Amino acid sequence: MNVKRTLGAIALLAIAQPVLASPASAGDAKMAAEAVAAVHADMEATLGRVPAFFIGYPPAALPGAWQAFKALQLSTTTALSGKEKELIGLAVASQIPCRYCIYAHTASARANGASDAEAAEAVAMAGLTRHWSTVLNGSLADEAEFRAWADAAFAYAGAKGATAQRVAVVDADSAMRDAAALLGTPPPFLAAYPAAAVPGAWQELEAMQMSGDTALPSRVKELIGLAVAAQIPCRYCSYAHTKPARLNGATDQQVQEALGMAALTRQWSTWLHGMQADEATFRADFDAILAGTPAAEAAPKSR
């Protein structure tokens, strides 16, 4: 060890420490307080109240956090509709899992017109994405080979999938042949799955994710899959959901917003759990926001 160099570095840190750790001035504190007050005023103008879960958030981060939340999740001018954004939030929240966020996104999705079937499919898509992410990651699938298969499968399905001669699925072999009829070659992750469960697993995947006869359109299902995949994180699934989302009409902006909703849901779930927010109080506060009830009239409800 070079003792002189080490002592010199320690001395330099000692000199720099007062500068790096200097306390905020009274002027800085006043500006921060004014910024927080301005944010609270905007929250009241936007939501009718200051949501309880924002109270206590670090003052320096609050203005930016509120702006991002308002501009994406609360905005009515995004590429994704309010219903689509909230269903994405619900899907992500379900597999964190976060009871606060599940409650908030479910209520908001329904307020934006989501049906029970659409909410159920959003959660089911989250579960499917988690399911196959687990298999792909656990089996250490080669990513380049997976992407090559996905590219070929999407091209085949687009060209010939609609006229495919389907196979009656009764066992693993027939499931693989049916998958090949739709996709050209069966998904490699099915080969890594227990053979006895392959028939049901394939039937569920095809009926839920690949079918056009669901309550949710394919574009939205794939955006939900992408949002969930991004925050697992799963590179296989992120790739596999992004491409069909675009093939089904999703724009770059919609892809960005789906990722943004996943990020917001993760962020506020982390905050709520880390601060051990009271769930009954959170629900009462959220109910009051949706109902437009003044803060003074809101009280926790037993559930």
Average pLDDT estimate for 252-279 = 99
Instruction: Write the single-letter amino acid at 62.
Output: L
**Measuring CA to CA, which residue among 197, 259, 252 is closest to residue 232?**
259
Residue 53 lies in a domain: no
52 in a structural domain: no
The whole-angstrom separation of Cα 39 and Cα 27 is 18
- Report pLDDT for 29: 78
Q: Is the pLDDT of residue 142 over 50?
A: yes
**What distance in Å separates the CA atoms of residue 239 and residue 237, rounded to the nearest whole number?**
5
Helix 172-183 vs helix 143-160: crossing angle, to nearest 10: 70
The pLDDT, as a whole number, for residue 25 is 67
> What global pTM score does this model have?
0.87
Task: Give residues with Cβ within 8 angstroms of 16, minimum separation 6.
Answer: none
222 confidence band (pLDDT: 50, 70, 90): very high
Q: How far apart are CA 102 and CA 108, in angstroms?
A: 10
Q: What is the mean pLDDT of residues 6-35?
A: 59
Model pLDDT for residues 178-199, shown as the tens digit of each residue: 999 999 999 999 999 999 999 9
Distance, in Å, from the CA atom of 125 to the CA atom of 219, rounded to the nearest integer, reads 12
Q: Please, which pLDDT band fits residue 160 given cuts at 50, 70 and 90?
A: confident
pLDDT at 155 over 90: yes
pLDDT of residue 2: 53
What does the mean pLDDT of the chain come to? Answer: 91
What Cα–Cα distance (Å) separates residue 126 from each residue in 66, 68, 133, 209? 27, 24, 11, 11
Question: Number of folded domains in the chain?
Answer: 1
The residue behind tokens 């001035």 is 25
pLDDT on residue 274: 98
pLDDT at 6 over 70: no
Once rounded to an integer, what is the mean pLDDT over residues 78-103?
99
* Enclosing domain of residue 162: 82-297
Residue 156 lies in a domain: yes
In this prediction, residues 239-247 reach a mean pLDDT of: 98
In-domain check, residue 217: yes
- Cα end-to-end distance, the chain, whole Å: 64
List the CATH number of the domain containing 99: 1.20.1290
Q: What are the C-alpha distances in Å from 93 to residues 120, 200, 236, 292, 293? A: 13, 26, 21, 24, 25
For residues 195-217, average pLDDT: 98
For residues 234-260, give the mean pLDDT: 98
Indicate whether 258 belongs to any domain.
yes
pLDDT (average), residues 249-275? 99
pLDDT at 149 over 60: yes
What's the whole-number mean pLDDT along residues 266-277?
98
Let me know if residue 40 belongs to a domain: no
Residue 16: per-residue pLDDT: 45
Q: Which residue has the tokens 């070929």?
A: 152
Question: Mean of the pLDDT values across residues 108-130?
Answer: 98
pLDDT value of position 122: 99
CA dihedral 166, 168, 172, 173 (to 10 degrees): -70
Q: How far apart are CA 36 and CA 55, in angstroms?
A: 10
Confidence of residue 292 (pLDDT cuts 50, 70, 90): confident
Question: If you average pLDDT over residues 78-82, what whole number do you get?
Answer: 99
Predicted local distance difference test score (pLDDT) of residue 23 = 57
Is 51 in a helix, a strand, or coil?
coil
pLDDT over 70 at 282, yes or no:
yes
